[in-house]
Structure 1
Amino acid sequence: MFGRNVSTSLLREDVMRCMEMREIGSRQILVYMGYLYKYLKETNRAEYVSFVDPNKIPATQDGSTSSQHIANQLKASNGDSICLIPYNTGYHWILTVINEDKDTIYLLDSMGNRNRDNAWKTTVCNGVRTYLCMRGNPKRPTFKQLTGNLKQQGCVECGYCVMQYMKEIVECEDLQLERKFAGCVKNQYYTQT
């Protein structure tokens, strides 16, 4: 799934967190990504979507290590695939999606239309730009925040929303994200139900 072997375990506590809809971490998201990858392989669509391991995105002050990791992941993926990057800002999960042409970066945030983490935006843009330069294309990628997605009502649903966004993208035959997540969704919240 990431171009290398990854082993992770869910503890009983991790399962209970999901059942009780408490705050989740990267282990739960990583296992869910494995489920989605298995689904993609079973439907012969694994080459259309690639994933970035959220545990391998180092939190550095300047972001250069993270940018290089993103560039390396894009290089290892199929050039015609979209890339899903779940990222925890330290207190909140967001989903970053890089389109198949690697020139547009989308952000899905369950807290609405407010990109409060400009450092992450810069890190991802630099990673995509590094990848494009490696391919001989010095183009600067564009960054768009998509707003037509499920929101969180409380303070712990962000990880669940990120998993839902990934599921919707993986199950979608037409990967036109701007059309899929267009507009503004009102009163649609991720709930335990």
Structure 2
Amino acid sequence: MNRAMKPLAYYAHSSMRQGNQIEVPIPYTIMGFDMPVFLSFEDIYEFINLQEISANCILVYMRYLEELCRINGQAEKFVFVSPSLISPVRTDTEDAGRRERADNLLSFLRDAPKERLYLVPHNRGRHWVLGVIDPWEDLVLYFDPLREKKRDDFTELMNMAFTDWKITTGEGIRRRRDCKTKFSNCPCPLQEGSVECGYFILGENGLDM
């Protein structure tokens, strides 16, 4: 076990029992509304043992990064978007609720000032990837620790949200409304196993903070 994890492991084993939970408030700036998430003993156990981690762990880390941005005077530079708002609940349907998920993303982008970046973790079915969105540049930076080229749902989701954003802001007049968003596959560390993707996305979320 990593030395930095030992205090968390000690707390979980000494102060929590299976079935107990830690309530962590998540602000509207991440979820679109204020709500708590609950970390269970199992969530923490899986995290400290580098097993497959839950969306709740990623949400709590995003809240930490948002607070860090405020402390460092970078609150206007980054926005963190909850993966639960844009990841498909089911992946066995044709569009997996893509229209609703694109609307969720659009609600964050609607009043986007220039030079603001949106960090969007996305789970495409037991695999985490990260998108970093710059709407004014019509650009999505894509981080995948498996370095796979397949990103059908993510690409369609981004194109839908960007098209609507251009219409809403009038950018569709300046630029062709049907112009495809630019995607850039960015290098990131390659995961060696099958469950480390969430930890890589945590690291990419915190890049350059």
Same fold (TM over 0.5): yes
The alignment of Structure 1 onto Structure 2 pairs a total of residues equal to 168
Question: 1:76/1:54 Cα in 2 relative to 1: closer, same or farther (>3 Å)?
Answer: farther
Instruction: Tell me the distance in 2 between the aligned counterparts of 1:14 and 1:102.
Output: 37
Checking the alignment, whether the CA contact within 8 Å between 1:72 and 1:131 is kept in structure 2 is no
Checking the alignment, whether the CA contact within 8 Å between 1:48 and 1:78 is kept in structure 2 is no
Instruction: Tell me the distance in 2 between the aligned counterparts of 1:101 and 1:8.
Output: 32
Question: 1:134 aligned to 155, 168, 171, which one?
Answer: 168
Question: 2:190 aligned to 151, 166, 169, which one?
Answer: 151
Instruction: Tell me the distance in 2 between the aligned counterparts of 1:33 and 1:119.
Output: 23
For 1:116-164, what per-residue CA distance to the aligned partner results, in whole angstroms no more than 9, with x for missing partners? 12122111121122112210012432111112x1121101100000010
Aligned-pair identity in percent equals 25
The answer to whether 1:115 aligns with 2:155 is: no
Q: Which amino acid aligns with 2:106?
A: A
Deviates more, 1:127-136 or 1:33-42: 127-136
Q: What TM-score, normalized to structure 1?
A: 0.80
Question: 1:100/1:120 Cα in 2 relative to 1: closer, same or farther (>3 Å)?
Answer: closer
Q: What TM-score, normalized to structure 2?
A: 0.75
Instruction: Tell me the distance in 2 between the aligned counterparts of 1:54 and 1:61.
Output: 20
Instruction: Measure how far apart 1:79 and its partner are.
Output: 4.3
Question: 2:49 aligned to 20, 33, 37, which one?
Answer: 20
SS in 1 for 2:136: coil
The answer to whether 1:99 aligns with 2:99 is: no
Name the structure, 1 or 2, with higher relative contact order (CA <8 Å, separation 6+): 1
Instruction: Tell me the distance in 2 between the aligned counterparts of 1:100 and 1:74.
Output: 7
Task: Please give the residue correspondences for 1:33-182 in structure 2 after superposition, counting only pairs within 5 Å.
Answer: 33-57=62-86, 59=88, 61-62=94-95, 63-99=98-134, 101-112=136-147, 114-138=148-172, 139=175, 140=179, 141-147=181-187, 149-169=188-208, 171=209
The answer to whether 1:31 aligns with 2:69 is: no
Question: 1:8/1:77 Cα in 2 relative to 1: closer, same or farther (>3 Å)?
Answer: farther
Question: 1:102/1:129 Cα in 2 relative to 1: closer, same or farther (>3 Å)?
Answer: farther
Structure 2 residue aligned with 1:176? none
Deviates more, 1:42-51 or 1:54-63: 54-63
Unaligned runs of 5+ in 1: 172-193
Unaligned runs of 5+ in 2: 1-28
SS in 1 for 2:51: coil
Runs of 4+ in 1 over 2 A off after TM superposition: 1-4, 57-62, 76-80
Instruction: Tell me the distance in 1 between the aligned counterparts of 2:87 and 2:153.
Output: 13
Checking the alignment, whether the CA contact within 8 Å between 1:110 and 1:151 is kept in structure 2 is yes
Instruction: Tell me the distance in 1 between the aligned counterparts of 2:34 and 2:94.
Output: 28
Find the structure with the greater CA-based Rg: 2
Query: Please, what is the CA RMSD of the aligned residues?
Result: 1.7
Instruction: Tell me the distance in 2 between the aligned counterparts of 1:166 and 1:38.
Output: 13
Checking the alignment, whether the CA contact within 8 Å between 1:86 and 1:93 is kept in structure 2 is yes
